A and B are shown apart, each in its own frame.
Chain A
Amino acid sequence: MSHVDAFTPTFRHGSDPYHLGHGTGEARHSARGHGEGGPASKRVIVGYGFWIFLLSDIVMFSAFFAAHAVLQTATAGGPTGRELFDPTSIALETACLLVSSFTCGMSAVATGARSRLWTQVFLFVTGLLGAAFLALEAHDFAGMIAAGAGPQRSAFLSSFFALVGCHGLHVTAGLLWLGTMMAQVYVKGFRPNILRRLLCFNLFWHVLDIIWIALFTMVYLIGEGR
Protein backbone atom coordinates (compact mmCIF):
# COMPACT_ATOMS: atom_id res chain seq x y z
CA MET A 1 0.00 0.00 0.00
CA SER A 2 2.98 2.28 -0.49
CA HIS A 3 2.48 5.46 -2.41
CA VAL A 4 3.78 4.44 -5.82
CA ASP A 5 2.93 0.89 -6.72
CA ALA A 6 1.45 -1.23 -9.46
CA PHE A 7 -1.92 0.41 -9.03
CA THR A 8 -0.78 4.03 -9.17
CA PRO A 9 -2.25 5.48 -12.33
CA THR A 10 0.34 6.95 -14.69
CA PHE A 11 -0.18 10.33 -16.31
CA ARG A 12 1.47 12.69 -18.66
CA HIS A 13 3.27 15.41 -16.72
CA GLY A 14 1.15 18.50 -16.54
CA SER A 15 -2.13 16.78 -17.24
CA ASP A 16 -3.48 18.40 -14.07
CA PRO A 17 -1.61 21.71 -13.80
CA TYR A 18 -3.86 23.19 -11.12
CA HIS A 19 -3.96 20.08 -8.93
CA LEU A 20 -7.71 20.28 -8.91
CA GLY A 21 -8.99 18.25 -6.02
CA HIS A 22 -5.70 16.47 -5.58
CA GLY A 23 -2.66 16.62 -3.39
CA THR A 24 0.30 18.68 -4.52
CA GLY A 25 2.59 16.01 -3.21
CA GLU A 26 3.72 18.04 -0.19
CA ALA A 27 1.82 15.89 2.22
CA ARG A 28 3.77 12.76 1.51
CA HIS A 29 6.76 14.27 3.28
CA SER A 30 4.82 14.53 6.51
CA ALA A 31 1.97 12.65 8.12
CA ARG A 32 -1.38 12.83 6.39
CA GLY A 33 -4.24 14.62 8.01
CA HIS A 34 -2.80 18.10 8.43
CA GLY A 35 -4.34 19.35 5.25
CA GLU A 36 -0.88 20.37 4.17
CA GLY A 37 -0.58 19.69 0.48
CA GLY A 38 -4.24 18.84 0.14
CA PRO A 39 -5.99 15.53 0.31
CA ALA A 40 -4.26 12.26 -0.47
CA SER A 41 -4.70 10.76 -3.92
CA LYS A 42 -7.82 8.77 -4.62
CA ARG A 43 -5.77 5.56 -4.85
CA VAL A 44 -4.44 6.06 -1.32
CA ILE A 45 -7.90 6.84 0.04
CA VAL A 46 -9.54 3.87 -1.68
CA GLY A 47 -6.78 1.59 -0.37
CA TYR A 48 -7.30 2.96 3.14
CA GLY A 49 -11.07 2.53 3.01
CA PHE A 50 -10.82 -1.02 1.77
CA TRP A 51 -8.18 -1.77 4.42
CA ILE A 52 -10.64 -0.60 7.09
CA PHE A 53 -13.22 -3.01 5.66
CA LEU A 54 -10.70 -5.85 5.68
CA LEU A 55 -9.79 -5.13 9.30
CA SER A 56 -13.48 -5.22 10.24
CA ASP A 57 -13.69 -8.56 8.45
CA ILE A 58 -10.68 -9.77 10.47
CA VAL A 59 -12.41 -8.63 13.68
CA MET A 60 -15.47 -10.66 12.62
CA PHE A 61 -13.23 -13.68 12.04
CA SER A 62 -11.69 -13.16 15.48
CA ALA A 63 -15.12 -13.85 17.01
CA PHE A 64 -15.27 -17.18 15.15
CA PHE A 65 -11.70 -17.90 16.24
CA ALA A 66 -12.58 -17.11 19.87
CA ALA A 67 -15.63 -19.40 19.72
CA HIS A 68 -13.52 -22.19 18.28
CA ALA A 69 -10.73 -21.68 20.82
CA VAL A 70 -13.24 -21.88 23.67
CA LEU A 71 -15.02 -24.93 22.23
CA GLN A 72 -11.98 -26.81 20.94
CA THR A 73 -12.27 -29.51 23.62
CA ALA A 74 -16.09 -29.59 23.71
CA THR A 75 -16.32 -32.71 21.58
CA ALA A 76 -19.30 -34.19 23.51
CA GLY A 77 -17.81 -37.64 23.21
CA GLY A 78 -17.59 -37.25 19.41
CA PRO A 79 -14.52 -37.30 17.20
CA THR A 80 -11.62 -34.96 18.01
CA GLY A 81 -9.51 -32.95 15.60
CA ARG A 82 -6.73 -35.49 15.76
CA GLU A 83 -9.09 -38.20 14.50
CA LEU A 84 -10.70 -36.06 11.81
CA PHE A 85 -8.04 -33.94 10.14
CA ASP A 86 -5.89 -35.25 7.33
CA PRO A 87 -2.50 -33.47 7.50
CA THR A 88 -1.74 -34.13 3.81
CA SER A 89 -4.94 -32.48 2.69
CA ILE A 90 -4.34 -29.48 4.97
CA ALA A 91 -0.77 -29.11 3.68
CA LEU A 92 -2.07 -29.19 0.10
CA GLU A 93 -4.73 -26.57 0.85
CA THR A 94 -2.11 -24.38 2.52
CA ALA A 95 0.20 -24.74 -0.48
CA CYS A 96 -2.61 -23.83 -2.90
CA LEU A 97 -3.46 -20.63 -1.03
CA LEU A 98 0.17 -19.61 -0.49
CA VAL A 99 1.11 -20.08 -4.16
CA SER A 100 -2.11 -18.30 -5.21
CA SER A 101 -1.08 -15.35 -3.02
CA PHE A 102 2.23 -15.27 -4.90
CA THR A 103 0.61 -15.49 -8.35
CA CYS A 104 -1.81 -12.76 -7.27
CA GLY A 105 1.26 -10.64 -6.46
CA MET A 106 2.66 -11.48 -9.90
CA SER A 107 -0.58 -10.27 -11.49
CA ALA A 108 -0.04 -7.01 -9.61
CA VAL A 109 3.48 -6.78 -11.09
CA ALA A 110 2.03 -7.42 -14.56
CA THR A 111 -0.53 -4.68 -13.88
CA GLY A 112 2.34 -2.39 -12.90
CA ALA A 113 3.99 -3.19 -16.23
CA ARG A 114 0.62 -2.53 -17.88
CA SER A 115 0.62 -5.94 -19.49
CA ARG A 116 -2.97 -7.08 -19.99
CA LEU A 117 -1.93 -10.55 -21.11
CA TRP A 118 0.22 -11.38 -18.09
CA THR A 119 -2.26 -9.79 -15.68
CA GLN A 120 -4.93 -12.11 -17.07
CA VAL A 121 -2.61 -15.15 -17.04
CA PHE A 122 -1.64 -14.65 -13.40
CA LEU A 123 -5.19 -13.83 -12.32
CA PHE A 124 -6.33 -17.02 -14.05
CA VAL A 125 -3.65 -19.12 -12.28
CA THR A 126 -4.67 -17.48 -8.98
CA GLY A 127 -8.27 -18.45 -9.70
CA LEU A 128 -7.33 -22.05 -10.54
CA LEU A 129 -5.39 -22.40 -7.27
CA GLY A 130 -8.27 -20.85 -5.33
CA ALA A 131 -10.68 -23.31 -6.98
CA ALA A 132 -8.33 -26.20 -6.16
CA PHE A 133 -8.28 -25.04 -2.53
CA LEU A 134 -12.08 -24.95 -2.43
CA ALA A 135 -12.36 -28.38 -4.05
CA LEU A 136 -10.00 -29.89 -1.45
CA GLU A 137 -11.89 -28.20 1.39
CA ALA A 138 -15.27 -29.33 0.05
CA HIS A 139 -13.91 -32.88 -0.25
CA ASP A 140 -12.73 -32.76 3.40
CA PHE A 141 -16.07 -31.40 4.58
CA ALA A 142 -18.02 -34.01 2.63
CA GLY A 143 -15.86 -36.77 4.10
CA MET A 144 -16.38 -35.49 7.64
CA ILE A 145 -20.14 -35.13 7.23
CA ALA A 146 -20.40 -38.59 5.65
CA ALA A 147 -18.53 -40.00 8.68
CA GLY A 148 -21.14 -38.50 10.99
CA ALA A 149 -18.90 -35.62 12.04
CA GLY A 150 -21.09 -32.81 10.70
CA PRO A 151 -21.64 -29.45 12.40
CA GLN A 152 -24.52 -30.85 14.52
CA ARG A 153 -22.31 -33.53 16.16
CA SER A 154 -20.64 -31.36 18.83
CA ALA A 155 -19.95 -27.76 19.79
CA PHE A 156 -16.38 -28.31 18.65
CA LEU A 157 -17.55 -29.30 15.16
CA SER A 158 -20.14 -26.49 15.01
CA SER A 159 -17.44 -23.93 15.67
CA PHE A 160 -15.08 -25.70 13.26
CA PHE A 161 -17.54 -25.65 10.35
CA ALA A 162 -18.54 -22.05 11.13
CA LEU A 163 -14.94 -20.81 11.14
CA VAL A 164 -13.51 -22.81 8.25
CA GLY A 165 -16.74 -22.54 6.27
CA CYS A 166 -16.73 -18.75 6.68
CA HIS A 167 -13.21 -18.62 5.27
CA GLY A 168 -14.30 -20.90 2.42
CA LEU A 169 -17.20 -18.55 1.63
CA HIS A 170 -14.74 -15.65 1.51
CA VAL A 171 -12.58 -17.56 -0.97
CA THR A 172 -15.69 -18.29 -3.06
CA ALA A 173 -16.59 -14.59 -3.07
CA GLY A 174 -12.96 -13.83 -3.98
CA LEU A 175 -13.19 -16.18 -6.97
CA LEU A 176 -16.35 -14.44 -8.22
CA TRP A 177 -14.62 -11.08 -7.82
CA LEU A 178 -11.55 -12.41 -9.61
CA GLY A 179 -13.67 -13.50 -12.59
CA THR A 180 -15.32 -10.09 -12.64
CA MET A 181 -11.93 -8.34 -12.60
CA MET A 182 -10.64 -10.50 -15.48
CA ALA A 183 -13.70 -9.51 -17.52
CA GLN A 184 -13.28 -5.83 -16.62
CA VAL A 185 -9.58 -5.79 -17.49
CA TYR A 186 -10.44 -7.49 -20.79
CA VAL A 187 -13.21 -5.05 -21.69
CA LYS A 188 -12.06 -1.78 -20.10
CA GLY A 189 -8.29 -2.09 -19.76
CA PHE A 190 -6.19 -0.36 -17.11
CA ARG A 191 -8.33 2.68 -16.43
CA PRO A 192 -7.71 4.33 -13.03
CA ASN A 193 -10.95 2.97 -11.57
CA ILE A 194 -10.13 -0.55 -12.77
CA LEU A 195 -6.64 -0.19 -11.25
CA ARG A 196 -8.24 0.72 -7.92
CA ARG A 197 -10.52 -2.32 -8.10
CA LEU A 198 -7.51 -4.51 -8.85
CA LEU A 199 -5.74 -2.99 -5.82
CA CYS A 200 -8.70 -3.86 -3.60
CA PHE A 201 -8.92 -7.37 -5.02
CA ASN A 202 -5.20 -7.91 -4.33
CA LEU A 203 -5.59 -6.72 -0.74
CA PHE A 204 -8.62 -8.99 -0.27
CA TRP A 205 -6.85 -12.07 -1.63
CA HIS A 206 -3.70 -11.55 0.47
CA VAL A 207 -5.78 -11.03 3.62
CA LEU A 208 -7.60 -14.33 2.95
CA ASP A 209 -4.19 -16.00 3.01
CA ILE A 210 -3.28 -14.26 6.28
CA ILE A 211 -6.51 -15.54 7.85
CA TRP A 212 -5.66 -19.02 6.57
CA ILE A 213 -2.28 -18.83 8.40
CA ALA A 214 -4.11 -18.25 11.70
CA LEU A 215 -6.61 -20.93 10.74
CA PHE A 216 -4.24 -23.76 9.87
CA THR A 217 -2.08 -22.95 12.89
CA MET A 218 -4.88 -22.81 15.46
CA VAL A 219 -7.49 -25.19 14.09
CA TYR A 220 -5.36 -27.84 12.44
CA LEU A 221 -1.83 -27.82 13.88
CA ILE A 222 -2.51 -26.85 17.51
CA GLY A 223 -5.89 -28.65 17.37
CA GLU A 224 -4.24 -31.82 16.12
CA GLY A 225 -1.94 -31.84 19.12
CA ARG A 226 -4.83 -32.04 21.54
Chain B
Amino acid sequence: MTDERQVLDEIGLDDIAPGVTEAANYSIRGAIWTYAIGFGLAVLLTVASFATVKTPLIWGPGIAVMLSVLAVAQMGVHLVFFLHMTSDPDNTNNALALAFGVLIVLLVVFGSLWIMGYLGGRLMPAGEMPQHMMQMQR
Protein backbone atom coordinates (compact mmCIF):
# COMPACT_ATOMS: atom_id res chain seq x y z
CA MET B 1 0.00 0.00 0.00
CA THR B 2 2.71 2.42 1.03
CA ASP B 3 4.75 1.84 -2.10
CA GLU B 4 1.75 2.40 -4.29
CA ARG B 5 0.94 5.59 -2.49
CA GLN B 6 4.46 6.89 -2.96
CA VAL B 7 4.28 6.11 -6.66
CA LEU B 8 0.94 7.89 -6.87
CA ASP B 9 2.41 10.86 -5.05
CA GLU B 10 5.37 11.05 -7.41
CA ILE B 11 3.41 11.00 -10.62
CA GLY B 12 0.52 12.98 -9.13
CA LEU B 13 -1.96 10.48 -10.49
CA ASP B 14 -4.48 11.03 -7.77
CA ASP B 15 -4.49 14.71 -8.32
CA ILE B 16 -8.02 15.61 -9.01
CA ALA B 17 -10.03 16.86 -11.90
CA PRO B 18 -13.43 15.77 -13.03
CA GLY B 19 -13.14 13.40 -15.88
CA VAL B 20 -11.85 10.08 -16.98
CA THR B 21 -12.34 6.97 -14.95
CA GLU B 22 -9.69 4.46 -15.80
CA ALA B 23 -8.69 1.27 -14.08
CA ALA B 24 -8.07 2.08 -10.45
CA ASN B 25 -4.63 2.46 -8.94
CA TYR B 26 -5.76 0.47 -6.04
CA SER B 27 -4.61 -2.82 -4.56
CA ILE B 28 -7.65 -5.09 -4.61
CA ARG B 29 -5.94 -7.94 -2.80
CA GLY B 30 -4.65 -5.63 -0.05
CA ALA B 31 -8.08 -4.07 0.38
CA ILE B 32 -9.81 -7.45 0.64
CA TRP B 33 -7.24 -8.54 3.24
CA THR B 34 -7.85 -5.39 5.29
CA TYR B 35 -11.58 -6.06 5.42
CA ALA B 36 -11.06 -9.79 6.04
CA ILE B 37 -8.68 -9.21 8.97
CA GLY B 38 -11.02 -6.59 10.41
CA PHE B 39 -13.99 -8.92 10.01
CA GLY B 40 -12.11 -11.81 11.67
CA LEU B 41 -11.14 -9.65 14.66
CA ALA B 42 -14.66 -8.24 14.93
CA VAL B 43 -16.18 -11.74 14.94
CA LEU B 44 -13.71 -12.88 17.63
CA LEU B 45 -14.52 -9.89 19.85
CA THR B 46 -18.28 -10.26 19.34
CA VAL B 47 -18.17 -13.97 20.20
CA ALA B 48 -16.05 -13.13 23.25
CA SER B 49 -18.69 -10.58 24.35
CA PHE B 50 -21.55 -13.05 24.09
CA ALA B 51 -19.45 -15.77 25.75
CA THR B 52 -18.58 -13.43 28.65
CA VAL B 53 -22.25 -13.29 29.62
CA LYS B 54 -22.62 -17.06 29.52
CA THR B 55 -19.43 -18.17 31.21
CA PRO B 56 -19.31 -18.79 34.97
CA LEU B 57 -15.54 -18.17 34.90
CA ILE B 58 -15.74 -14.41 35.40
CA TRP B 59 -16.55 -12.78 38.72
CA GLY B 60 -20.04 -11.18 38.50
CA PRO B 61 -19.21 -7.48 38.92
CA GLY B 62 -16.28 -7.87 36.53
CA ILE B 63 -18.52 -8.87 33.62
CA ALA B 64 -19.60 -5.29 32.82
CA VAL B 65 -15.97 -4.13 32.78
CA MET B 66 -14.98 -7.04 30.54
CA LEU B 67 -17.87 -6.29 28.15
CA SER B 68 -16.93 -2.59 28.01
CA VAL B 69 -13.31 -3.40 27.21
CA LEU B 70 -14.37 -5.82 24.45
CA ALA B 71 -16.79 -3.24 23.00
CA VAL B 72 -14.18 -0.48 22.93
CA ALA B 73 -11.69 -2.86 21.33
CA GLN B 74 -14.21 -3.81 18.66
CA MET B 75 -15.03 -0.18 17.92
CA GLY B 76 -11.29 0.37 17.46
CA VAL B 77 -11.12 -2.55 15.04
CA HIS B 78 -14.05 -1.16 13.04
CA LEU B 79 -12.50 2.32 12.93
CA VAL B 80 -9.15 1.05 11.68
CA PHE B 81 -10.15 -1.76 9.33
CA PHE B 82 -13.57 -0.62 8.05
CA LEU B 83 -13.45 3.16 8.31
CA HIS B 84 -9.70 3.23 7.50
CA MET B 85 -8.82 5.62 10.27
CA THR B 86 -5.03 6.02 10.05
CA SER B 87 -2.32 8.32 11.35
CA ASP B 88 -1.90 9.60 7.81
CA PRO B 89 -1.62 13.43 7.57
CA ASP B 90 -4.83 13.43 5.51
CA ASN B 91 -6.52 11.86 8.47
CA THR B 92 -5.42 14.38 11.09
CA ASN B 93 -8.67 16.33 10.85
CA ASN B 94 -10.75 13.16 10.95
CA ALA B 95 -8.86 11.89 14.01
CA LEU B 96 -9.18 15.24 15.82
CA ALA B 97 -12.91 15.36 15.09
CA LEU B 98 -13.23 11.81 16.39
CA ALA B 99 -11.33 12.70 19.57
CA PHE B 100 -13.67 15.63 20.17
CA GLY B 101 -16.71 13.44 19.49
CA VAL B 102 -15.48 10.84 21.97
CA LEU B 103 -14.96 13.57 24.58
CA ILE B 104 -18.55 14.80 24.19
CA VAL B 105 -19.95 11.25 24.26
CA LEU B 106 -18.06 10.44 27.46
CA LEU B 107 -19.16 13.72 29.09
CA VAL B 108 -22.81 13.13 28.19
CA VAL B 109 -22.96 9.47 29.24
CA PHE B 110 -20.80 9.46 32.37
CA GLY B 111 -21.89 12.97 33.38
CA SER B 112 -25.54 11.87 33.28
CA LEU B 113 -24.81 8.72 35.28
CA TRP B 114 -22.80 10.68 37.84
CA ILE B 115 -25.32 13.47 38.34
CA MET B 116 -28.37 11.21 38.43
CA GLY B 117 -26.63 8.79 40.78
CA TYR B 118 -25.69 11.69 43.08
CA LEU B 119 -29.24 13.08 43.10
CA GLY B 120 -30.68 9.63 43.73
CA GLY B 121 -28.36 9.18 46.66
CA ARG B 122 -29.14 12.59 48.19
CA LEU B 123 -32.88 12.46 47.95
CA MET B 124 -33.52 10.06 50.83
CA PRO B 125 -31.35 7.58 52.68
CA ALA B 126 -31.66 4.40 50.66
CA GLY B 127 -32.71 2.29 53.65
CA GLU B 128 -35.77 4.40 54.41
CA MET B 129 -37.04 4.48 50.91
CA PRO B 130 -39.86 2.11 49.94
CA GLN B 131 -38.95 -0.31 47.19
CA HIS B 132 -41.23 1.17 44.50
CA MET B 133 -39.88 4.67 45.16
CA MET B 134 -36.29 3.55 44.84
CA GLN B 135 -37.08 2.22 41.40
CA MET B 136 -38.68 5.49 40.39
CA GLN B 137 -35.76 7.48 41.73
CA ARG B 138 -33.25 5.64 39.67
User: Interface of A with B (CB < 8 Å)?
Assistant: 1-6, 8-13, 15-16, 19-20, 22-25, 27-33, 40-44, 47-48, 51-52, 55-56, 58-59, 62-63, 65-67, 69-71, 73-77, 87, 91, 94-95, 98, 101-102, 105-106, 108-109, 112-114, 189-192, 203, 206-207, 209-210, 213-214, 216-218, 221-222, 224-225
Binary per-residue interface labels of chain B (53-92) against chain A in the complex, 1 for a CB within 8 Å, 0 otherwise: 1000000100110011011001100110011111011111
The chain B residue sitting closest to A110, CB to CB, is B28
Q: With contacts A28-B89, A94-B46 known, is A4 near B25, CB below 8 A? A: yes
List A contacts of B9 (CB < 8 A): 25, 28-29
Chain A nearest CB, measured from B101 CB (Å): 4
Q: How many A-B residue pairs have CB under 8 A?
A: 236
In the complex, the answer to whether B53 meets A224 with C-beta atoms within 8 Å is yes
Q: With contacts A52-B97, A55-B97 known, is A43 near B16, CB below 8 A? A: yes
Q: How far, in whole Å, are A16 and B19 apart by their CA atoms in the complex?
A: 10
* Chain B interface residue number, banded: 35 or more
Interface centre among B4, B17, B43, B85 (most CB of A within 10 A): B17
26 A-B Cβ contacts within 8 A? Answer: A2-B86, A5-B26, A10-B20, A10-B23, A11-B14, A11-B16, A12-B20, A22-B17, A29-B9, A41-B16, A55-B100, A58-B105, A62-B108, A66-B109, A66-B113, A70-B113, A73-B138, A75-B135, A105-B35, A109-B31, A112-B26, A113-B26, A192-B16, A210-B75, A213-B78, A218-B71
List A contacts of B39 (CB < 8 A): 98, 101-102, 105
In the complex, the answer to whether B82 meets A105 with C-beta atoms within 8 Å is yes
In the complex, the answer to whether A62 meets B8 with C-beta atoms within 8 Å is no
In the complex, the answer to whether B52 meets A32 with C-beta atoms within 8 Å is no
List A contacts of B113 (CB < 8 A): 66, 69-70
Q: With contacts A105-B35, A209-B78, A221-B52 known, is A4 near B4, CB below 8 A? A: yes
Q: With contacts A10-B24, A91-B50, A222-B67 known, is A48 near B17, CB below 8 A? A: no
B21, B74, B89, B94: the one within 8 Å of A29 (CB): B89
Interface centre among A23, A55, A213 (most CB of B within 10 A): A213
The chain B residue sitting closest to A72, CB to CB, is B138
In the complex, the answer to whether B92 meets A32 with C-beta atoms within 8 Å is yes
List A contacts of B8 (CB < 8 A): 4
Q: With contacts A4-B26, A59-B108, A213-B74 known, is A23 near B82, CB below 8 A? A: no
Q: How far, in whole Å, are A42 and B91 apart by their CA atoms in the complex?
A: 14
